Chain A
Amino acid sequence: MKQILVVEPSVHICVNDNNEVLFYNTYNYNFLYYKDSNIVKIARTLLSENNNYVIYLQNKNTKIEKKFIDELIANNMGFVHSLKNTMRKPIQLYPISAVQKSSELNDEDYSILIRKNILKHLNEATVYFNRVKSGVNNHILHKQFVYPILDENNSEIELTIENIIHFFESIKYSSLKNINIVGSNLLNFNGFSSLVSYLSSFNANKRYFLRLSEIVFDNFMRIKEINPEDTTIVLTIFADSELNELERAIISLQNLNLNFQFRCAVASEMEAVFFKELFTRYKISNYHIIPYLDNTNFRFFCKNVFLTFEEVLELQNSMINIHTNEHINPLFFGKICLMPDNSVRSDIHSENPIGYNDDNFVIQEALYIALSTENSWRLTRNKVESCKDCVARNICTPISNYEIMLQKYKICEQQ
């Protein structure tokens, strides 16, 4: 009889050259982290193409190895089996993520493969229909979450309804699932009624982003033009709003037959508590709290946005999540923006447009650029210097707007 160690296919194993190894069980979310060359050696043997998560055990196992095996068993990650001498070594189809049209192919093959049916990769389009002047503190909000572009330096500009319709006509054969309309004072936008009417023919979820302060008596009824069936109104609220005004507005909006989502932007713990109490009082559950960075609250921001290494290990990931994190950035992939200057970009941060929304605009060409050049779509932790050797890089959260804005990617060192 021979002894074999069989690791479960639910286990994600990641090793690095710093003698670190992580075993992460996607069934019970238990993990084992070691910094030990002996364990790293075993992990590499398990991962070798001739073993497929199954290795023969020698009788001369060291104490460390025995302890490791006991820990694997205790975490339901693997077990020692006896194998008759007449039997072949079994295999586990361990979790290899195979993306057939992957950039890991050589450039020529990848280039050919992604050209075919390229429109399927477009799932979400966000239109920033204007850029307006604003004070110092507000100018980076749109880099943190979906929010109107407020700029302290550049001049004010606005897209026309013709620009916007031209853009959507160009992308209508894609696999568009979500449409976001963002800008300052949407309800006062010249083409508002035409836009609402035009977009109603699109079979996609629509989200109109408004700020609570923009809804005033004069334009209140315009909200009703929005068809509630496939549209959500995302309402951003800041804690500096007058409390009485805020309460009155929430009650008025609640009475409308529309889908609202309240988004509370907070810069401190106190503001977060304020909103939680407010919405609890009105028994409203469709709200979420978003921390944002201003010039004064870096400590609060880091505490609420970033995670420690230990917190990363505690995250609950499925194997498909891990594979997604390995290859793409799910927060950005498949999304494009039409900017107020009529340029088309793969994300709000990118400096280089993937196209211009003029008569020569071909969405297929723009998507080809998005898929074949380095940008946020495939910005994974494997690609950034500070994270690429970390054993937890694929179970960690995807790189976010906040990190791109700060150009700091190692979230576990920000606190």
Chain B
Amino acid sequence: MRNPVFFKSNGGNQYFFETNKKLLHYCSDSLKEIIETNGKEFIQKNFNNSQKENYDFELYNNMKAQGYFIQQKRVNNDVLITRNHILDAISNINQLTFETTEKCNLNCKYCSYGNLYNDYSKRTNKDMSFDSAKVIIDYFKEFWDNKANKSINGLIFISFYGGEPLINFNFIKNTVDYIKSLNIKRQIQFSITTNAILINKYIDFLVENNFNILISIDGDKTNNSYRTFSNGKHSFDKLRKNIINIKEKYPIYFEKRVNFNSVIHNRNSVAEVHDYIAVEFGKTSNISEIRSTGIHPEKLNEFKRLFNSVNKSLNESNNKESIINDNFIKLSTIENLALFLHKYGGYNYQDYSNIKEKTIPLQKTPSGTCVPFSKKVFITVNGLLLPCENVDHKYHLGKIVLGKVEINLEEIVSFYKRKFAKLKNKCDKCYLNEACALCMYNMDIDLDGDFICKSSVGLEAFKKYLSAQISKIEESPYLYERVMKNVSIE
């Protein structure tokens, strides 16, 4: 692995990135020459050296004395998952997401469970039973009350996902009532992701139980026109009426607990979504893209027609600066910059313990895949336990069998070991390893059924990546301080 890596920004400036110590540095031509020749070029010139060259030579020597520019084989801190990692994650789990129902009252064009994709388990319009939820809650409650739980009165998220979860409202009500009856020594936060078509009927219950509500809306009527009922009719008018009703009936709750998610496609833009949500509801929306993995080969052209990149759309906006300011941490462009700065900026600390440890590098698993159960567990209508809602059901980590949760730790360890073993080779050579956000479950699969990373980054691609990130800051210098101080990455 090259060290350092020199690159140029779009603004025409030269920088280097020191790969061992993770330092980005503005770099003059003379400094580059000194680094590239290990100072020999400077020594040869000797008496003819300019003040700048003398300065750069001293800087180079100072940095060398501090351990910079050492050419060594990259130390890969990737760790494999052990039984203890999983036990630890289960003991400290803080989000249960229930696939409340497979049913949906809309038929959105770009739905991850629609005909654009071929990588999901077949939908059978099944509802989740309360009995299954009870088994899951009883199982995890033991861990929340256990000494091995490393948190204190931590926040536990109980989330309802679909299909459209409000179609199975009885399940939601029974589950909420049951959790409340258990007197769990944790703060419980309920949340729901909904298309809000049925929300008027149930809003009193959701408000009473302080639900976080995430409503899907893609902008105004035209922008939202891919979100239709199964008969093809637009859902927008009903949706808008329902949102306005919540806003009028529960204004404080609306301000605090109701949020929006908007998918960018060829019938809207970041600017249109931003302006509509701001004017109509006085809020900002999370902005996301249509899923670009698992596309049905026959639908590739249709996908290409629908797809619109958030970055591209944002760059085309006339009011880009104000959109960035308003939506700061909700934009993927800021998220990418934050990931870059947190991994390569050099001075980001997770918490006070991290700052005290100083030299211990952050350990991660190969690729950007998380330790199973470390973020959440997603429970399907069929009682399967998945690492999250974006994972194919065939990769379940456990299941409910005869009223009990079965999780085979050895099987999980062995599965991840096999999958990581293949990925690790690529990760070892990838310049972007530390900042990888790619989950293996979103990768393509080879003939052996193993995940294959097609995004391994070589030197030239890494230079482009560094250049793109630094160029963003050159263009809007305030982004550096704001991201460092305001955006956190788990």
**Residue positions of A touching B, CB distance < 8 A:** 6, 8-10, 25, 27-28, 49-52, 54, 73, 76, 79, 81, 84, 86-93, 95-102, 112-121, 123, 170, 173-175, 319-321, 323-324, 327-328, 330, 333-334, 362, 364-365, 367-368, 371, 377-378
Contact = CB atoms under 8 A, between A and B. Distances in A.
B230 interface: no
Nearest to B479: A49
B226 to A, nearest CB: 35
Interface of B: 9-13, 15, 23-26, 28, 51-52, 55, 58-59, 62-63, 65-66, 92, 94, 147-155, 187, 341-342, 345-356, 358, 470, 473-475, 477-478, 480-482, 484-485, 488-489
A96 B25 contact: no
Given A99-B352, A115-B154, A333-B356, 16 more contacts: A9-B23, A9-B346, A10-B62, A27-B59, A27-B65, A52-B480, A79-B28, A95-B346, A113-B351, A115-B152, A117-B92, A120-B150, A320-B355, A364-B150, A371-B352, A378-B352
| Those 4 A-B pairs whose CB atoms lie nearest each other, nearest first | A88-B11, A364-B152, A119-B150, A90-B13
A334 B355 contact: no
A362 B485 CA distance: 33
Contact of B481 (A9, A96, A365): A96
Contacts of B52: 79
A170 B348 CA distance: 32
Contacts of A93: 23-24, 341, 345-346, 473, 480
A10 B12 CA distance: 23
A100 B9 contact: no
Majority secondary structure of chain B interface residues (helix, strand, loop or mixed): mixed
A102 B350 CA distance: 9
Contacts of A119: 150-151
Contacts of A51: 477
A220 B278 CA distance: 78
Given A91-B474, A115-B155, A364-B150, A98 B485 contact: yes
A77 B259 CA distance: 47
Contact of B482 (A49, A92, A371): A49
22 contacts: A52-B481, A90-B474, A91-B470, A91-B473, A93-B473, A93-B480, A96-B481, A97-B349, A97-B355, A98-B347, A98-B484, A99-B349, A100-B351, A113-B351, A120-B353, A121-B351, A321-B358, A324-B358, A327-B349, A333-B352, A364-B149, A364-B151
A52 B473 contact: yes
B25 A92 contact: yes
Contacts of B346: 9, 93, 95
Interface centre among A89, A92, A118 (most CB of B within 10 A): A118
A118 B347 contact: no
Nearest to B154: A115
Interface centre among A52, A113, A170 (most CB of B within 10 A): A52
B484 to A, nearest CB: 4
Nearest to B11: A88
A323 B11 contact: no
Contacts of B94: 116
Nearest to A78: B55
A100 B353 contact: no
B65 to A, nearest CB: 7
Contact of B152 (A6, A50, A334, A365): A365
Nearest to A103: B352
A115 B153 contact: yes
A67 B79 CA distance: 52
Contacts of A87: 11-13
Contacts of A365: 152
Given A76-B59, A87-B12, A96-B484, A173 B152 contact: no
Nearest to B28: A81
Contacts of A173: 147-148, 150
B12 A121 contact: no
A324 B355 contact: yes
A105 B386 CA distance: 33
A99 B488 CA distance: 9
Contacts of A89: 11, 474, 477
A323 B347 contact: yes
B125 to A, nearest CB: 37
A214 to B, nearest CB: 33
Contacts of A319: 347
Contact of B352 (A84, A112, A121, A364): A121
A368 B352 CA distance: 13
A330 B356 contact: yes
A9 B25 contact: yes
B11 A90 contact: yes
Interface centre among A87, A93, A119 (most CB of B within 10 A): A93
Nearest to B359: A320
A297 B87 CA distance: 56
B477 A91 contact: yes
Given A88-B11, A118-B150, A76 B349 contact: no
A397 to B, nearest CB: 16
A98 B348 contact: yes
Given A27-B65, A100-B350, A324-B356, A90 B26 contact: yes
